[in-house]
Structure 1
């Protein structure tokens, strides 16, 4: 499946991305109809179940969420069975087995189960996804087979499974008619089962056969068989020794079924969870995990290596000049060139919109890494055909060395980012090896930092409020508080200029506390003026979340300003949710105060769609990059539709930001998005001007 998707991407143009997204959506829908899926946290508490789980167990979703799987335990399996299961997944390995469960009405059902752990950067499982298939009918059939060989014949002749009886050496004694779909029966009926099993799996099957004879119980096995066309088919089987006296005494029943589609589905799920869907490279989360594993190996072998953080300079101008599709094409070309330039052992990831990271395992010294980076940069900057015109791109790179500069994945990436930042500050188009003090401040940077500190103390900041609107009714549903810096000498300074400095210097801590307090004061004023209650959304930095006392600070400000929690919403970027267990716990504690949490700029590359159901959030804000061309770009439309659909299954609210036209608003409403904000409705306004819009719907 993965290879097929990759082939589709290479054979079709950019506009076909929507077709691929539609195909992936169809597959996801089909999986939800045929596969029982549940997600638990690391303690085994259920956090998500799909509709088929509810239907099969006969419990409601509300009855299942928050419980453990003990709720469906039939007491059929010994404690050692589950102890082995937890030992396996607790070590980060996939567990597979057959489990008998009890439904709410007391009936029993069997499920073929795979439990897949998801690991943190440290290799520790932090949640588990279980993928189950209902095999109740097959288990009932196997029971009948053991009891009556004549009934067995009748059943197998009408079964869709491939059921055979083999002697202890593997020679066929009986084959169900279904085998005729795969093999030419007249050629193999008197031969050995090893004649149809792929040679690579002979040893695996022989072990399972011996276990079935020794342990006198059903033994699971997975292997490939070769069909009449010579194509491999993955089979899942159970082997059971016949111990009753009769025609097949001391033979083994092999009951197998084709799981090729299931294996492809599992690959697809893994692909969606770990791959960037535009370039097929590792996404940010997967890159961090793989880099952690790679550094462990290099640390053990005492092997240095280098990491390069890459940015495509001014890609937004390509988007603005040629359109989003061309920008996506440039990203795909850069990704393909990186794949061709680097070794198979090197890691490559798309970290965010126009940024990539990759390892240079052969870059063991500063000189080696710089030479290799220069060569790669030269190849990447070769002309690309864009809109029937050949154009060149500019690349900036930052390099860091392991273990010279850092010994952990996050620190290694940070050092490379700092080196890249130095290159960008000096005009871009070059590369730089990290050095202590690489982030040398420019005169402008020093001036802004000094003035920023003074302005926080002297109160040179104000808040403006941008309305959020109900797309169908045109009514105001809330506002977002946006900080503005009006310097008495320098004039109005854009947030994208001072917010990064505030975060890096931690000036964001007092500034962020001031913003929250001002928003709470305004919420109290509007409530006293008699307006209906609505939330004020306040943006919060990851730096603020990392403060140990942030939850207490928020609660104190709410109390001091006499504002109830339901009047405030906290907006966080996707990076706040990425592989940081402590931060997720902090976010959950904020929600426990009664404050709703929104994920800002969703879809820009940090969280993959497969994690939506697990995010400790209440609302997703779709990034404006998908909204601005949703009426002309099928790819953007497909992504927005996917976000809305998946958010709906997770019972998350969705809001679109950056709406600039009536056509965009109508199209979003048709796709199922009910709330939005943007200049089509209103620019950010001072409190007194914002009150005019509030009064129209909240009097």
Structure 2
């Protein structure tokens, strides 16, 4: 059946009024493979993604039965699912196809009946997601854990090596694997494991494979300590001596990798054989490197159990004790304990952002440095361990509460000092929770849970601090969980709204812009402070949809201001750090500007100093935003760690002086000096200055006298909802900028 005939057949089966829409959304634009079949299981329609996944052209697939591409072992179940759908059911299941080039492609398939206007089933429609790499990764990880467990439990070496070869045969479809062990005394390789290779070939290698140049793939790999990839045994010179026995048993390609120990001593080889010409791709190489790693680990275990024990009880990245060893030491310390001890739970604030922006390599190096600094802060008889991810736990033995506070403060100070990693200045802060024995519990699990609760309280209280556990925290955590659940519903229930605080030009005393402030009015709890729900949204990722809603709403309100004649009022929107570093953030903003039709020069984004740590990435994002026409402000300036040289490189327009430097003016001389210095510095850099939190006439007068450009605060106006803002602007028309 030709392609155009298939399309026509599909369109006849569909409601004509929606055929094009259905076709475009389900087939042409779907990133997953989409297809249609008739009642016989013949393909009548497919999209480009299906072609990419299968490797076949449309002409090769259209009109053919699914039997022709489904992997044999999955064919029976696929037929069962096909007939279930023809009986009116929907089905989601896993299957696999054979790519045109021969490799297996694993798919997660959802199929539904194709029903015409009369209710008759005329075929099926399916969507197939490629899960090959996902399944491969899952198999590899599960298999690795099983093998590590076997090693730790003392299984025989041959059993472990056999499990490794079987795992790799499962992951490398079509491959037969072997492990050969180096006999340094005889200078040969001996069979370690090769359960599925032909018996005659196993017998051949069991007599020993010489190690040296030109001695097949494995002998050469062991000699050179480099991988030897033979894509075609029939023509490769390394197989001149052993070609016949390999070809006799349909072994056509061989990839052999040396297995080395930590001192680069040859332990053996890992090899994969294939029945046809073949060469490894990037994924295959990663899989085989994992095989050689596990093989090396298993062999070295039987040469040195001490190393395996160390790995079982220590974190691979940092070298600190892991959770298992920490548990042993905690149990020992708590046994027959009479004096006090403390358990500290440390979580690095916003570490995920460092990974996402600077890369996992920088993140790993940072964790190693953090581990070193933590270790330097505690006593020799204390235990610091890596709990996992960016979490660390510390056991302080025989210690007073005052001394615990001293050590916690030392950790805060040392971790808050900048890190210098691969030429980058990296900032990180910790949140620390502390539980004490015996008052907070008598078991490690109790102390760990309560220190975790206290750590979250430290985060809630602003991060970069520590908190001791108390009973009220459990109740607060329950309340926070409830608040998080309610926040997830708030957008859909229209409980969120924007209020606007006017920003005044201090020279003309006119309103020139407003800052959008997010508010949440819950039906039973009333108005909920942003200080309560914004940190929750940032932590669980809700800040992304909420942040997008804020920008969309602010832009719609900007259009409303235009329609009401207030065409000279700009709107400033605060950005969260996760929102700013969202990979498609600039395109989201561009779409909103286009859809709402606003003048982008009247939209301002406010970012905090913490969002400027990665100068290169931040500059790139800001330049893209500037290209759209929006303006950029640095919010809360003075409380972070921005460098003046960095500020000069950023395409920003405005600095906002944090309210903490304004609230004590004119009483506090130091705050006056800081505010004056920021105004002077900003003007030297060609930037405008907005002062936040102006609440008195004395503060407003001080700002005017010291050349501050703009200000906002209760002295001028409280935040107003949109209706109140329109009234405010209408009643103060003479005070509106133009």
Query: Max radius of gyration: which structure?
Result: 2
TM-score using structure 2 length: 0.41
TM-score using structure 1 length: 0.43
Which of structures 1 and 2 has the larger relative contact order (alpha carbons within 8 angstroms, sep 6+)?
1
